[in-house]
Structure 1
Amino acid sequence: MRAMTYARAGDPSVLGLVERAVSEPGPGEVRIRVVVSGVNPTDWKTRSGAFGGGPVEATVPNHDGAGVIDAAGPGVDHLDVGDRVWVTLAGDGRPGSGTAQEFTVVPAARVFPLPAGADFELGASVGIPAVTAHRALTVGDDGPSRLEPEAFSGQTVLVAGGAGAVGNAAIQLARWAGATVIATVSREAKATLATAAGAHHVVNYTDGDAADQVRRIAPDGVDLVVEVAAGANSELDLGVLRPRGTISVYANDGGTPLDLDVRRNMGLNARYQFVLLYTLGWDRIAAAAADINRAIEDGAFRAGEDAGLPLHRYHLEDTGDAHAAVEAGTVGKVLITVAEG
């Protein structure tokens, strides 16, 4: 089979197309014929060595993808050969199991049914962004621990960076769960995308009165902030958070240090929750997947320009270009077509 691999850390040029043997699934594992592979920032950061050194063996990149179950090992009883599925964290601890290859073998616990009517491009777009968004939305002191219609009824969610992949997922899921959703963006083109995703209100965070604009929408403050740039947005977040509100931090874009004002945070009884899927636990990831699949079934979670998430398509042999696009900050979702659906 064809596979993209890299054996040393570096820029996208370290990626090369090779032939690999197709592996058999062991106990508790399934083999997926990959149709579409999704690229996330964590993929290029791992490949570049930004996450702590180079690979110890030839590595297949990309954690997210969608395809069809091709074979199942002993002990797998909830997935069958022929099932359409999506997978996330495919390569976590398994360098040879990334999705930038024609077949991948992964633990069945990392694989979830792809709802009827959802195409493989949507399946490959779910994974890390949607599960991260779900976690960020479900850690509030007074908010829901699971998402479903009306779970956020009467509450207001602020999504920072509403045009990003996680921001898009957070907007769609929060809107489906009944929240009033405010998104912040940096320019008009991104405002259009956040609105398409379902944000009720969009504020340009570069405006000098951005906090006042949010407060006019939510006079009592927002219940929860889904935060992509914790350091840079700290003053805005504290200016709009209601007492006992939560700031869910899944990134710190820009690298501005997060300096906590202890007195102001104590006065708000503020909660900070940091979000990283690698250590979240598969019980929580499975619960998130179930809620996300329900949103997909309800037609409330989509991918594409009309859902505020433009798709950028590459072929397997162009995986390096796909990684470069994500590293350059391409707005939308970068996908790699591995096989015909």
Structure 2
Amino acid sequence: MKAIVYRTTGDPSVLELIERDAREPGSGEVRVRIMVSGVNPTDWKSRRGAKPGEPLPFDDVVPNQDGSGVVDAVGAGVDRLGIGDRVWLALAAYQRADGGSAQEFAVLPAERVFPLPAETGFDVGASLGVPAITAHRTLTAAEDGPRRLRPGALAGKVVLIAGGAGAVGHAAIQLARWAGAVVITTVSGPAKAALAQAAGAHHIVNYQETDAAVEIRRIAPDGVDLIAEVAPAQNAELDLAVIRNRGSIAVYANNGGDHVSLDVRKHFSLNVRYQFVLLYTVGMDAINAAAEDINAALADGALPVGEAAGLPLHRYGLADTAAAQAAVEENVVGKVLIDVAGR
């Protein structure tokens, strides 16, 4: 089979296309024939490491956490999945040398593999893992909010999603709207505003053209209940200006800087809750809950991808994985997919 590997950290040129045998799944594992691999910022950040040439935990690593495909073989003790099942993946490469989705066959713990509804395409399946599970966690982290999502779970809530044109922001808009929230999102320009509108946001605030705090307070005079935050260093003052009493700010990325300065008195006077979200360490209970709710949303047709749905797709072949990761590293707008099985 064909696989992409890297043997050292560095720029996209460290990625190599190789041939290797597909291994059999062990106890508790399944083998998935990968149809589509999804690329996320975490994939290139793992490849780059802290510095070029940094030692890896394995001799070589297959990249990419997300993907979709068909179960090809099942190991002992697995009864939740069977050969021929259509599936999507989460955390495929986490702490594994050969689990990543940038290969024709991936062997994974069954707990990281989830059924893909029959009506859902492989492109959607490969776009779920990191973005949709992260979005689910940000929307279920509020002290006064639901722990699970379903239609009506966020009814009466106002949710602010920073960066609605990004992959996580896109999924958060879709899930929040499906769950009944009033959805506000911030964007940096008209093109991204059009994508956020296509994703389903009720209100779009272009922070380059208006005072975002004033506009958000006009939409939500009592403040917003929950903020899904991608750039806390840049947006801390804005978030404080629009959050309601007992509101929550769920931070899932560090765009714009690693350090945040907070006015303690103003935050505790509002009982503001900060929740930091990292998919790798959130725990399998949270991931399983998210996967169940995501599949319910898929069944309702609530998580489409593509430009008409607010998330343009950029396609590459497996041999062009380096270019695919470079596109994500260069902040291409939309979702980068790798057609592992061809088209």
TM-score (norm: length of structure 2): 0.98
Q: Is the 8 A contact 1:45 1:51 kept in 2?
A: no
Identity of aligned residues (%): 64
Query: Is residue 2:51 matched to residue 1:34?
Result: no
1:245-324 mapped onto 2 (5 Å cutoff): 245-255=247-257, 257-324=259-326
1:212-231 mapped onto 2 (5 Å cutoff): 212-231=214-233
Q: Is the 8 A contact 1:47 1:54 kept in 2?
A: no
| C-alpha distance in structure 2 between counterparts of 1:50 and 1:224, whole Å | 32
Please name the residue that 2:10 is paired with: 10
Please name the residue that 2:50 is paired with: 50
Pair 1:312–1:267, CA change in 2 (3 A) = same
Pair 1:30–1:7, CA change in 2 (3 A) = same
Query: How far did residue 208 of structure 1 move?
Result: 5.0
Pick one of 86, 89, 93 that aligns with 1:87. 89
| C-alpha distance in structure 1 between counterparts of 2:55 and 2:316, whole Å | 25
Query: How far did residue 256 of structure 1 move?
Result: 5.8
| C-alpha distance in structure 2 between counterparts of 1:59 and 1:20, whole Å | 13
Please name the residue that 1:235 is paired with: 237
Q: Output one character per residue of 1:117-165: Cα deviation in whole Å (capped at 9) or x when no partner.
A: 1111110000000000000000101111100000010110000000000
| C-alpha distance in structure 2 between counterparts of 1:87 and 1:115, whole Å | 13
1:126-137 mapped onto 2 (5 Å cutoff): 126-137=128-139
Q: Output one character per residue of 1:42-62: Cα deviation in whole Å (capped at 9) or x when no partner.
A: 000000113893423211010
Q: Output one character per residue of 1:182-238: Cα deviation in whole Å (capped at 9) or x when no partner.
A: 000011100000010000000012345210100000000000000000010001000
Q: Is the 8 A contact 1:149 1:177 kept in 2?
A: yes
Q: Is the 8 A contact 2:9 2:51 kept in 1?
A: no
SS state at 1:95 partner: coil
| C-alpha distance in structure 1 between counterparts of 2:143 and 2:95, whole Å | 32
Q: Give, as a single letter, the amino acid of the residue that structure 1 aligns with 2:274.
A: Y
Q: Output one character per residue of 1:252-304: Cα deviation in whole Å (capped at 9) or x when no partner.
A: 20116211110010111000000001111111101100100110110111111
Give structure 1 regions of 4+ aligned residues with deviation exceeding 4 angstroms: none
Pick one of 109, 112, 125 that aligns with 1:110. 112
SS state at 2:233 partner: coil
Please name the residue that 1:139 is paired with: 141
Query: How far did residue 17 of structure 1 move?
Result: 0.5
1:63-212 mapped onto 2 (5 Å cutoff): 63-212=65-214
Q: Is the 8 A contact 1:2 1:101 kept in 2?
A: yes
Pick one of 313, 337, 341 that aligns with 1:339. 341
Q: Give, as a single letter, the amino acid of the residue that structure 1 aligns with 2:41.
A: P
SS state at 1:90 partner: coil
Pair 1:289–1:75, CA change in 2 (3 A) = same
Q: Give, as a single letter, the amino acid of the residue that structure 2 aligns with 1:114.
A: L
Pair 1:208–1:36, CA change in 2 (3 A) = same
Q: Give, as a single letter, the amino acid of the residue that structure 2 aligns with 1:219.
A: P
- Root-mean-square deviation (CA, aligned residues, Å) is 1.2
| C-alpha distance in structure 2 between counterparts of 1:152 and 1:197, whole Å | 17
Please name the residue that 1:20 is paired with: 20
| C-alpha distance in structure 2 between counterparts of 1:176 and 1:237, whole Å | 24
SS state at 2:234 partner: coil
Query: How far did residue 102 of structure 1 move?
Result: 0.3
Q: Give, as a single letter, the amino acid of the residue that structure 2 aligns with 1:138.
A: T
| C-alpha distance in structure 1 between counterparts of 2:74 and 2:44, whole Å | 30
| C-alpha distance in structure 1 between counterparts of 2:233 and 2:207, whole Å | 14
TM-score (norm: length of structure 1): 0.98
| C-alpha distance in structure 2 between counterparts of 1:225 and 1:50, whole Å | 30
Q: Give, as a single letter, the amino acid of the residue that structure 2 aligns with 1:104.
A: A
Number of residue pairs the alignment of both structures matches: 341
What runs of 5+ residues in structure 1 fail to find an aligned partner? Answer: none
Q: Give, as a single letter, the amino acid of the residue that structure 2 aligns with 1:6.
A: Y
Query: How far did residue 340 of structure 1 move?
Result: 4.2
SS state at 2:145 partner: coil
Q: Is the 8 A contact 2:10 2:51 kept in 1?
A: no
| C-alpha distance in structure 2 between counterparts of 1:256 and 1:235, whole Å | 15
| C-alpha distance in structure 1 between counterparts of 2:295 and 2:269, whole Å | 38
| C-alpha distance in structure 2 between counterparts of 1:54 and 1:167, whole Å | 33
SS state at 1:231 partner: helix
What runs of 5+ residues in structure 2 fail to find an aligned partner? Answer: none
Q: Give, as a single letter, the amino acid of the residue that structure 2 aligns with 1:35.
A: M
